[in-house]
Amino acid sequence: MADDFRLANYLARIGVRGPVAPDYATLAALQLAQVDAIPFEGLDPLLGRPVKLDLVSLQAKLVDGRRGGYCFELNALLMAALEAIGFRVAGLGGRVRWMSPTESPLGPRTHMALKVDLPDGPYLVDAGFGACLMDKPMPLTAGAEESAAVGTYRLSEFDGMFLVSARQPSGWRAMYAFNLEPQLPADYALANYFTSTNPLAPFVNSLIMERVSGGKRLKLLDRRFTVEGRDGERVDERTIASAAELQGVLDRTFNVAPPAPIDQLFARIGG
């Protein structure tokens, strides 16, 4: 995969300049820069468009175009960049818990995350969890807690797996559970098809966008635009009242050019 990756273009897209190396400083810089420069967005599933995971399509959309993507795209892109630099990376599969009651059974692996091996041990790296984008790698050890620019994250044990959680105003909130079984491209292809086409999948029914920038978490859920500070503290919230206002938010806040007319997109996200 890394042989076909245009690393210089990627680094320019996320605004990382200077030398890069397979070390923690580069890893942290890339994750923080990517969640700022390339937003989480699910426009294609919402509009009934296919989500392609091949490296040519990912670079055309996320690097060359004014688009973001969701977890399979964002973390596949980051994985390719890390491999091109010389990191040892494995893809993981996560079972999302963000909207699930504590007592509910585990769902399928519909999230992609990364394990990156460094001399001091493995790290969990994730630039694509759209409900709460992680802005810093964290040691892949049960009991680890990582404080980042806009969030605090914790790893704990859960039914023989890891559980990553984010601190919120109401306390810790589970994000997803995972184990260390490496995922194959076929695993991601199946999960991607499900999340981008199933009528019950959130991305098929709602506009979900997020970016971490300037110490703030910027979120769009359908017509509700929210700004959060550290650990989910609500700073501002407003309702997008028109297609023109939605276009402004996409342009100025997320730097995204939608793949369909803005009036069509505004009508798709309801009242």
Distance set, CA 109 to CA 188, 212, 214, 217, 242 (Å): 9, 25, 31, 25, 36
Catalytically annotated residue among 44, 126, 135, 222: 126
174 and 41 in one domain?
Answer: yes
Q: Could you identify the residue written with the tokens 């798709």?
A: 268
Q: Select from 157, 188, 219 the last residue of a domain.
A: 188
Is 181 inside a domain boundary? yes
Active site residue 187: no
Q: Where are the alpha helices (DSSP H) in the chain?
A: 7-14, 24-37, 43-46, 55-58, 71-85, 185-197, 202-205, 243-248, 262-268
Closest CA to 126 of 220, 247, 42, 32: 32
Whether the CA torsion 184, 202, 234, 178 is positive or negative: it is negative
Q: Is there a single domain that holds both residue 136 and residue 211?
A: no
Give Dmax over CA atoms of the chain in angstroms.
51
Residues 93 and 166 in one domain: yes
Per-residue pLDDT tens for 1-10? 455 899 999 9
The CB-based long-range contact list for 240-246 (8 Å cut-off, 24+ gap) reads 240/266, 242/266
Give the CATH number, domain containing residue 126. 3.30.2140.20
Q: What is the CATH number of the domain that holds 249?
A: 3.30.2140.10
42 and 105 in contact (C-beta within 8 Å)?
Answer: no
Catalytic site residue 71?
yes
Contact 113, 82 (CB under 8 A): no
Statement to judge: residues 177 and 210 lie in one domain: no
Is residue 130 within 8 A of residue 43, CB to CB? The reply is no
Please report the pLDDT score of residue 3 as a whole number: 59
Residue 84 lies in a domain: yes
Q: What is the pLDDT of residues 151-174, one digit of tens each?
A: 999 999 988 999 999 999 999 999
Q: Give the range of the structural domain holding residue 232, as residue numbers without chain letter.
A: 202-268
Per the domain annotation, does 127 fall within a domain? yes
> Mean pLDDT across the stretch 108-134?
97
Q: Are residues 48 and 171 in the same domain?
A: yes
Is 196 among the domain residues? no
**What's the chain's average pLDDT?**
96
Domain count, the chain: 2
Active-site hit among 3, 44, 54, 111: 111
Please indicate whether residue 120 is annotated as part of the active site. Answer: no
Instruction: Please check whether residues 35 and 115 belong to one and the same domain.
Output: yes
Together in a domain, 66 and 97 = yes
Within-domain flag for 103: yes
Mean pLDDT within 111-128: 98
pLDDT one-digit tens code per residue, 134-143: 999 999 999 9
Average pLDDT estimate for 55-82: 98
| φ/ψ (deg, to 5) at 160 | 80, 10
Which one from 44, 71, 132, 135 is the annotated catalytic residue?
71
